[in-house]
Amino acid sequence: MNLGIEGQVALVTGAANGIGKAITLGLASEGCKVAVLDRDGALADKVALEIHESGGQACAIAVDVTDAASVASAVQTVVAQLGGLHIVVNCAGFSMDAAVTSMTDAQWHKVVDVTLTGAFHIVRAAAPHLTAQQYGRIINITSRAHFGDVNKANYSSAKAGLIGLTKALSLELGPQGVTVNAVAPGIIETERLRALPYLQGIEERSKAVMPIKRFGTVEEVASLVAFLASARTGFISGEVVHISGGRYG
């Protein structure tokens, strides 16, 4: 299927590793010019170089999504260097697990500020470019954890907030030709997951409640994002698409 996005400009946050990197490379393989945004500028440069070496176009920008001025500057740089903006993927986020009784203010704010407030900063800066051309795709990477998870009050709240943001923006930006959707991965095999010392326990507990008895892959998530970013999905908006092996709660 031709997704109709060849030559379009895509901006991805949290793009230097894991799911974000797979999304970035996936959009580049569809012919998008990709802006690789990440807090780690050196890793972002490596991803952009990989795209260049495969014949694509990319730029790397080190950015802290919690810094509104930095985000605004980064979006302007993307438009100037790559010639526009059509697709925005908010993937920046991380977890800092703790029981609610011992969770610090810093643990709460760091996770919420990056995952939820960071997405707001990106959309606020990008939306004028999308609405001016009466076309755009915004995809927010949430998580199955939006249903709630043990010791993840900060993470689950931030990911649930992304769903609220998605639905609100779909109503606000839809009349200007911009669709807004969310992707909610379950257990996805990444380098970070494989490095966890308690991986075996996670794997056993997860597979016990998953109809599809395996971890998902970052490439599967990237394929779903590419579909929602495509020119063929103009009548899909405000949706949360789970990619979790059939597990929801």
Q: Is residue 152 situated within a structural domain? A: yes
Digit-coded pLDDT (tens) for 143-166: 998 998 889 999 999 999 999 999
Q: For position 232, which CATH number holds?
A: 3.40.50.720
**Cβ neighbours of 211 (radius 10 Å):** 9
What pLDDT is recorded for position 249? 67
What would the mean pLDDT of 222-239 be, rounded to a whole number?
Answer: 98
Digit-coded pLDDT (tens) for 94-114: 989 899 999 999 999 999 999
What would the mean pLDDT of 194-213 be, rounded to a whole number?
Answer: 78
Q: Is residue 216 situated within a structural domain? A: yes
Give the residue numbers spanning the domain of 28: 9-243
Q: What share of the chain is helix, strand, coil (3-state, %, to 5)?
A: 50, 20, 35
Q: Is residue 38 situated within a structural domain? A: yes
Q: Is residue 249 situated within a structural domain? A: no
What pLDDT is recorded for position 196? 74
Q: Is residue 3 situated within a structural domain? A: no
Q: Is residue 99 situated within a structural domain? A: yes
Q: How many structural domains are present in the chain?
A: 1
Which of helix, strand or coil describes residue 151? coil
Q: Is residue 4 situated within a structural domain? A: no
Residue numbers annotated as active site: 155
* pLDDT band, residue 197 (cuts 50/70/90): confident
Q: Is residue 1 situated within a structural domain? A: no
Which residues are CB-neighbours of 68 under 8 A, at least 6 positions away? 121, 124
